[in-house]
Structure 1
Amino acid sequence: MKLLFATLLLAVIPSTTSFNLSNPNRPIEAGVILLGVTEVLDVAPMDYLHGISTRIAYALPVPDKLKAKFLDINFHWITEKGEPGKLTTNLTLAATDSFETSPPLDIVLIGAYNIEYKPNAAELAFIRKAHDESSAFITICGGYLAAQLAGVLVNKTATAPRFNVPELQKSDPRTNWVEKRYVRDGKVWTSGALLNGLDLMRGFTAEYWPELASVGVQIGAWPVRDGQYQGTDGLPNPNW
C-alpha cells in the first residue's frame, strides 16, 4: 500500500529536476507556431538546429567523436487544429501537431505573419502555455507581435524590426525595446527583421552548444555578425 501511494504521489507531483537544454537527458522538443501567413525566412533558422541534430550528423564530414555530441531533436510545426500552415511565396506546409496534440516544447519559435492577421484567443493562450513550459522562447522579425499580444514580453528587454522600435518604445513601455539585431532576456530571445533571425539562431546555439555551433558556422557558412547594427542597417533609406 505504501509503495502504491508513493507511486501515485510521484505521478501527480512534478519533478523538481529542471531540464538542462545544454546537456539534455532526453530528446529536445522544438516547435514552430504558425500563425496567419508566416514569413518563410523567419522560420528557416529552425533548420540550423536540424544541422546540429542526429538527423543529419551521419552525412557531415566531422569526426565520430563529434557526431556523438549531436542533439536528438524532435521538430514540430504547429497550427491550432493541425490544419496545413500557410507561408509566404504561396507555400503550404503540413502541420505535425495541433495545439491539443503538441507536446510541451523546450524550444519555441514564432515568425512574422501577415499584418492584417489577428491571432485569436486560442492562439494567444497556446503561446502563453508554450512560453511557460519552454526553456527557450524565440521570436523572429514581426513574431514579436504575437508574443506582445500574449503578454509574455512584459517586463522583458526585447527587440523587433529596427524601424518598429521607436514607435514600440512609445506605445508599449511595459517592455524595454532596444535596437539590436537580437537580444536575450532570460529564456526569451527576440530578433530584428528577417535575416537577423540567422544572427539570433547562431548566437542561441553558441550559448547552449558552442562546439556544435562552430560546426554549423564552418560547414554551413552561416554569417557571423555582431549583435549591434552598423550605420543605418534595418532602417528605411531617407532618400526614398
Structure 2
Amino acid sequence: MTTQIPTTKTLHIGVLILPPIQLLDASPIDLFSMLTPSYLTACQLPAAIISLGVPITITYIAPSGANTIALCTANAGLQINAGLSDPTVAPGVLDILLIPGPDPAAVPEEAELEFVRKHVRAGVELMTVCTGVFVAGYAGVLDGKRATGPRAIIPAHLKKKFPKVKWEEKRWVVDGKVWTSAGITNGQDMVAAYIRQRWPGPLAEVVCAMADVGQRGVEYENLAMSENAWWVWQIFRAWVRGSGKAK
C-alpha cells in the first residue's frame, strides 16, 4: 500500500509560449492546477484528500514579456506573466518547463532556444506537447535521448530534421527528466502519467478520475500501417465527395 506524504514545497511550473500555439496543447497544465489545495477545496473533497494537495505556481512565459497576450488557435489568447529574462523564471527557479506546440514550420529564435538549454542544464523537468518537441529538438536537448512527437510526422519530418534523437512511436516517452508526448491530447496522457509517478496514491487517482484522463496506455492500440491506411481512406473519401459536388 502506497502512503502519500503531504507536500509543503511550492512547485513552480513554467509554460513556454512561442505563439501562435495550439490552445489544446496547453490544456495539460490544468491537470497540475487540479492538484492544488485550493482546487480540491473548491471541489468540496474530503479533508484527507485536500491535505495531500500540492502548492503550485504556474507562470506563462513568452518573448513578448509580462502583461502581453500570446496568440493561440481558436481565436484565443493567453495572458503572459514573464519574459525570457525575468528573474522569476531564471534557470534553477522552475521545477517543470512545459512547451505546448507552436507552428511546426517556424524556427525558434536563438534566445528562445538558449532559454530551454539553460533550464535543462539547471535540472528542470522538461515536457513537450505535440509540436512543442520541435522547440526542444532545435535546442539540441533531445540529442541522444528517446523521444516522441506527432505520430504522422515522425518518419518524414522529425527523423530527418533531428537525426540524433531516438524517435519512438508512442503516446509519450520518458528519458530521464525529459518527457515528450505525441499529438495534442497525448499531452494529457503524459501529464497524467507524470502525476501518478510523482504523487502515487489517492491524490493522483482522484485528479485523474475528475479529469477523466489517464486511461490510455503509452502504446498505440493500432499499428502504424493501419494508421496510414486510415489517413489514405479519409483522403479518398474527401476526394470522392469533392468530385461529386463538382458535377
TM-score norm. by structure 2 comes to 0.82
Q: 1:70 aligns with which of 44, 47, 53?
A: 53
Deviates more, 1:44-53 or 1:131-140: 131-140
Match in the other structure for 1:177: 167
Q: What one-letter code is carried by the residue in structure 2 that aligns with 1:156?
A: K
Contact 1:36 1:117 in 2 (8 A): no
Q: For the residues of structure 2 that align with 1:38 and 1:139, how far apart are their CA atoms?
A: 12
Q: 1:97 aligns with which of 82, 90, 100?
A: 82
Q: What one-letter code is carried by the residue in structure 2 that aligns with 1:35?
A: L
1:160 aligns with 2:149: yes
Match in the other structure for 1:118: 107
Tell me how far 1:232 sits from its aligned partner: 5.0
Q: What one-letter code is carried by the residue in structure 2 that aligns with 1:89?
A: A
Contact 1:106 1:133 in 2 (8 A): no
Match in the other structure for 2:71: 86
Match in the other structure for 2:216: 225
Q: Structure 2 regions of 5+ residues with no counterpart?
A: 236-247
Q: What one-letter code is carried by the residue in structure 1 that aligns with 2:104?
A: I
Q: For the residues of structure 1 that align with 2:160 and 2:80, how far apart are their CA atoms?
A: 37
Q: 2:25 aligns with which of 24, 42, 50?
A: 42
1:237 aligns with 2:231: yes
CA offset digits 1:16-44 (Å, max 9, x no partner) = xxxxxx98652111010000201111111
Q: For the residues of structure 2 that align with 1:152 and 1:75, how far apart are their CA atoms?
A: 23
Q: 1:187 aligns with which of 171, 177, 186?
A: 177
Tell me how far 1:173 sits from its aligned partner: 2.7
Q: Secondary structure at the match of 1:190?
A: strand
Contact 2:103 2:131 in 1 (8 A): no
Q: Secondary structure at the match of 1:193?
A: coil
Tell me how far 1:223 sits from its aligned partner: 4.5
Deviates more, 1:199-208 or 1:24-33: 24-33
Q: What one-letter code is carried by the residue in structure 1 that aligns with 2:101?
A: A
Contact 2:13 2:59 in 1 (8 A): yes
Seen in structure 2, the aligned counterparts of structure 1 residues 72 and 157 have a Cα distance that, compared at 3 Å, is same
Deviates more, 1:171-180 or 1:194-203: 171-180
Q: For the residues of structure 1 that align with 2:56 and 2:10, how far apart are their CA atoms?
A: 5
Runs of 4+ residues over 4 Å off in structure 1: 22-25, 232-236
Q: For the residues of structure 1 that align with 2:48 and 2:6, how far apart are their CA atoms?
A: 16
Match in the other structure for 2:197: 207
More helix by share: 2
CA offset digits 1:167-186 (Å, max 9, x no partner) = 33344331100000001000
Q: 2:139 aligns with which of 150, 161, 173?
A: 150
Contact 1:31 1:109 in 2 (8 A): yes
Q: For the residues of structure 2 that align with 1:117 and 1:164, how far apart are their CA atoms?
A: 15
Seen in structure 2, the aligned counterparts of structure 1 residues 135 and 119 have a Cα distance that, compared at 3 Å, is closer
Contact 1:29 1:75 in 2 (8 A): yes
Tell me how far 1:63 sits from its aligned partner: 1.9
Q: For the residues of structure 2 that align with 1:85 and 1:218, how far apart are their CA atoms?
A: 31
How many corresponding residue pairs? 219
Q: For the residues of structure 2 that align with 1:41 and 1:100, how far apart are their CA atoms?
A: 26
Q: For the residues of structure 1 that align with 2:23 and 2:123, how far apart are their CA atoms?
A: 23
Q: What one-letter code is carried by the residue in structure 2 that aligns with 1:176?
A: K
1:32 aligns with 2:26: no
Q: What one-letter code is carried by the residue in structure 1 that aligns with 2:210?
A: I
Q: Structure 1 regions of 5+ residues with no counterpart?
A: 1-21
Deviates more, 1:38-47 or 1:75-84: 75-84
Contact 2:6 2:54 in 1 (8 A): no
Match in the other structure for 1:10: none
